[in-house]
Chain A
């Protein structure tokens, strides 16, 4: 009975196993436009979205900075305006010559003399409404910032203080110096920095990753470093670029590797073994290496445990894990927004980077001896990543700062071309280094 049922199944299975038929020609014509539309790589949208976010952040930051500046000036104006309006300010009898204050005349009678460029808005608050009370003494009335006359707000209430001409000259000299220094600081828009970082890949992070593969893969030591330069658009926003070198990788465990396989290797294909990993398929290029998966069936090739025994063939075991390594040159475009300004500045960092693959190797180490095994198939030569982080900048002097920047990097385009998967798309780094402003 069972056989009979299976027979009818077999008849149809065998009969239709290789069945082929020619479809109408117009099917392909209908498919073409659909896949053309779909063929636009999704990473383009991702890059566009990232740029939009960055641009929005930049505009928002800029507006925030502008608003702060406007509020600052409005506050300043508010603090000055009432005083000016309420006080009938009579230009004091001071002559300013080369930023030096001197009585305009030997007597107090010439009080309407030339004030020159001595204008109230550029004066410190306590320099307004000066009164000449003698050839060498001036009384300055501190203007009231607001109309609150409560005792608690005494600090902002008007006050009177007497200055000597020498003190006035000293204050003006300070002002002059401050102005010059300010100009110098404004001029320091460029900076160059050298930074380095260990990087960490949290978990596998691989999309559609296979748990069996993930179990036997762990991150190898990864690092990044390089030189960057930045240009300050204004006091808060700067744009940064540069050149970084980064090396990421992982260790594949549970793979037995033997050397001395060359005499037995009759494989006609260019690659004797392929090893499935989450980052892509490793293809061997060293004919002397024999690989055997101890944990499952990740190793595919012409030779397996069924048709070749490495122990009987006297091959030398040289390791039980493979190292996958990928090296990139990174060209970042980063926008920094200064959140807090002081001796220790805090910056928000965001941007995208263009990563060019410059190295792709698979190797194993045996007591310090490195054996090259092959490479990972299908890695993209160009990968786009986005960066988001926080920068802390401690000023040692006006030109030199120490930087610490914890950042998160996300690979917008998958690192592997062929499988659609990638090396962990997330990457954490703690960059530290030194920067010089000029």
Chain B
């Protein structure tokens, strides 16, 4: 923690090596976050770049309360949201009952063979509106009310987008594991 403090203080004093150190230490993890929200690598690079500029700009407001990584992650997510708002509008799905959900029971254990990159590819392939809601709800832990506020949609729209995202992901996972089972015999 003291080391992180020293790096942050160095950055606050405009020390170039501290800035680079802060970037190098955290860039891989933050890039992982960006890739979850972006549609492709180019978009992820943009989010990463803008996000880190914001991190340096907002560093004086960091109060050393809570995890620094969590603080950086929130900035990255917010940057991704801004990018998203610039490009997309969420589809409104008001009637959740009409959704065609997959009824098959799936256990967590069935997915254990999946690599992080496989999961990332599945998320990235989601329609943008589903991807962002799924990320905010399932990965970041925001509530539908919070997501609604963030994206300017109603909580029910958020719920329906999440439900769609889950369905699509489950299909993909089943297909993936099915193929794997066939391959593995």
Contact = CB atoms under 8 A, between A and B. Distances in A.
B178 interface: no
Given A20-B29, A22-B28, A12 B139 contact: yes
B23 A8 contact: no
A38 interface: yes
28 contacts: A4-B105, A8-B169, A9-B166, A11-B108, A12-B123, A13-B139, A19-B29, A19-B35, A21-B28, A24-B45, A27-B27, A27-B45, A27-B48, A27-B49, A28-B27, A30-B49, A34-B53, A35-B52, A36-B16, A38-B53, A38-B57, A208-B61, A281-B64, A418-B64, A419-B60, A419-B63, A420-B12, A420-B59
A419 B49 contact: no
Interface residues of B, number: 51
Contacts of B52: 27, 31, 35
Contacts of A41: 14
Interface stretch (B75-83, B87-95, B114-122, B142-150): B114-122
Interface string B133-156: 010011100000000000000000
Interface of A: 4-5, 7-13, 15-16, 18-24, 27-28, 30-32, 34-36, 38-41, 208, 276, 281, 377-378, 414, 417-421
B166 A421 contact: no
Contacts of A276: 63, 65
Contacts of B175: none
Most buried by B among A10, A40, A418: A418
A357 to B, nearest CB: 15
Interface string B13-37: 1101001100100011101100110
B62 interface: yes
Given A23-B45, A27-B48, A418-B12, A9 B138 contact: yes
Given A7-B106, A15-B114, 4 more contacts: A9-B138, A23-B48, A31-B23, A38-B53
B106 to A, nearest CB: 6
B32 A16 contact: yes
A177 to B, nearest CB: 62
The B contact surface, by secondary structure, is helix
Contacts, number: 125
A414 B8 CA distance: 16
Interface of B: 5, 8-9, 12-14, 16, 19-20, 23, 27-29, 31-32, 35-36, 44-45, 48-49, 52-53, 56-57, 59-65, 105-108, 111, 114-116, 119-120, 123, 134, 137-139, 166, 169-170, 173
A34 B120 CA distance: 30
A378 B4 CA distance: 13
B153 to A, nearest CB: 20
Nearest to B165: A8
A208 B61 CA distance: 8
Contacts of B20: 28, 32
Nearest to B112: A11
A36 B29 CA distance: 23
Contact of B14 (A23, A24, A39, A208): A39
A35 B16 CA distance: 9
Query: Which among A19, A20, A30, A414 has the greatest number of chain B C-beta atoms within 10 A?
Result: A19
A196 B35 CA distance: 61
Nearest to B59: A420
Contacts of B107: 7
Residue from the set A8, A13, A32, A40 with the largest chain B CB neighbour count within 10 Å: A8
A78 to B, nearest CB: 60
